[in-house]
Structure formats: C-alpha cells, structure tokens
Chain A
Amino acid sequence: MATITPELTKEFWTAAKVKWGAKQSSKGDSAFMKLVADFLDLMGITNKEMFMNHFTTTIFDTIYTPFEIGVPSGGYDLWNQISICTHECVHVVQYHDSPVKFPVQYLVNKSDRTTYEAEAYASDLQMHYWKYGYGYNIVLRAEVLKQYGLTQEYVDYAIQYITVYDDVLKQGGSTSPVAAWACGWLQDHGIAGAVA
C-alpha cells in the first residue's frame, strides 16, 4: 500500500477542486483575506492572527490555505491537508447549494453558522473513521467553535448534531458524500484506511 506523498496530496487537491467546483489560493498572498481578517476580528467572529495563520478559509467557492499544498507546515501535515481539503469542499458544496443564503446566514445567524460547521465537522468524522477506524473526540472538536464567535449553547448544539452522524458511522453507514468521495479517491490511489 502507498503512503501519502506531497505529489499525491497535490493530486488530491486538484481532483477535489474539479469534483466539487472549488478554487484554491494562498491566504498570505491575498489582500482580500487580510481585509476579511480585519472584518471578522471587528465582528467578534474570530481573532485576526488565528484567522490568517491557522485557519483554512473558504469564501464562496475559493479555499484560502495558510500552507503550501504538499509542504507540511504549521500543524498541517499531509493527512491534515487532505482532511482540511475535504472539510472546505463541504463548505463549497454548501455555497453551490445556496450561493446567496450560505454566506449571508453564515455571517449573521449563529445557529446557521454552527450548522454549516457541524456538517463539515461530521464530514471530517467520516474521514477519521476511515483512516483510524474510530471517531475523534466530538466534545473537543466542537469546542473549536468558540473561536468562531460561538458560545457554549452553540457548542452543545454542534455536539448533538455531530453525534447523530457518529451513531450512523459506528453502524457502518455513510453520511457525507464529500467524505465518501475522498475516501474512495484515496483508496483508488493505493492509500489504505482502517475501514475498507
């Protein structure tokens, strides 16, 4: 079985962009992203430094990465680069499904923002099951939402939401079309997961 290489990671991103209608750009090079960072900081949604250096962000159909694809850095090893690509492709699908509603509601409605993120976290969960054979700590993952300007009641809602997915994954079901595609692509390219 093959291992995840920088080339394979780049190939995965290219295939994912084609499959889900996404674009990709480097966050550090983007003046637009710096403006967005200021805006989100001002809105109290997320801290500027965290946003620029640690978060991968999707605006409309473009994924802005704080790393160079295929080069492990800053907490993004090659698996994490594949996993975050899948996570952000869920947001691209959400955008394509509702090009006006998604960006507006994400910004103005905290319950919607939580729902959009929880759906993407649930996709990460399916990837995690495929790779390791077990899920991640849902409570810890949902706590990350506090960096998105969300309070405990929204974290609790996200935990409840993701747990519904977790129950299905534990029973061998498939919950996320994006994660199912990603796991299939990796398997087709010789990468072994814990779940066949």
Chain B
Amino acid sequence: MLKVLSLMCLAVLCLTLVGCPPVCKPTMARCQGSIVQVCRPDKKWQKVLDCSKMGGGKTWNCNCDNPTKCGCKGVK
C-alpha cells in the first residue's frame, strides 16, 4: 500500500513538474531532445530522424510548429 502511494505521489510530482506526457495518437509528432518522433497507426512513437546528425554545415534542432508538425530546423 505504501509502495502504491509512493508511486502515485511520484507520478503527481512528475506531472506537476513536467506536465502530462503527450498521448500518442496517429498524426501527432513530438521532439525528444534532438529526435523527431511521429505517432504510428499502432499508437507507438516512432523515431524518424536525429536532428543532431543532419550535417550540411548547419546546427540542427528538433522543432515543433504544432502537435502534428515537428522536424529538424537547421541554423548556419
């Protein structure tokens, strides 16, 4: 019982600190650090690209325009 309560408290604390994790619904996208992920039809997050490895003489970051549109943005 104590263990369950501790886990619940931890979950509440985490949600308070970082907000609710985005639920995976097809068409959604998100950034996990430098990694672009999109939600698959089976509702699992799929890594698409690691923006830190794009090259081309630019610095690349993962960036979301909206909940369905995330990608790598390069800056010279």
Interface residues of A (CB under 8 A from B): 109-111, 114-115, 153-154, 156-157, 160-161, 163-165, 167-168, 171-175
Q: Count of B residues near A, CB < 8 Å?
A: 25
Whether the Cβ atoms of B72 and A164 lie closer than 8 Å is yes
- Evaluate whether A111 and B46 lie within 8 angstroms (CB atoms) in the complex, with A153-B26, A160-B29, A164-B38 already known: yes
Contact of A153 among B41, B49, B55, B56 (CB under 8 A): B41
Residue in A110, A111, A115, A173 whose CB lies within 8 Å of B56? A173
Q: A193 to chain B: closest CB distance in Å?
A: 15
Chain A interface, >50% SS class: helix
A175 vs B56: C-alpha distance when bound (angstroms): 10
Q: Would A115 and B40 count as touching, CB distance under 8 A?
A: yes
- Using Cβ atoms and an 8 Å threshold, which residues of chain B touch A153? 26, 41
| Interface hits, B1-53 → A, CB 8 Å | 26-27, 29, 36, 38, 40-42, 44, 46, 48-49, 51
- Known A111-B41, A172-B74, A175-B49; judge A164-B36 contact (CB<8 A): yes
Q: Are A174 and B40 closer than 8 Å at their CB atoms?
A: no
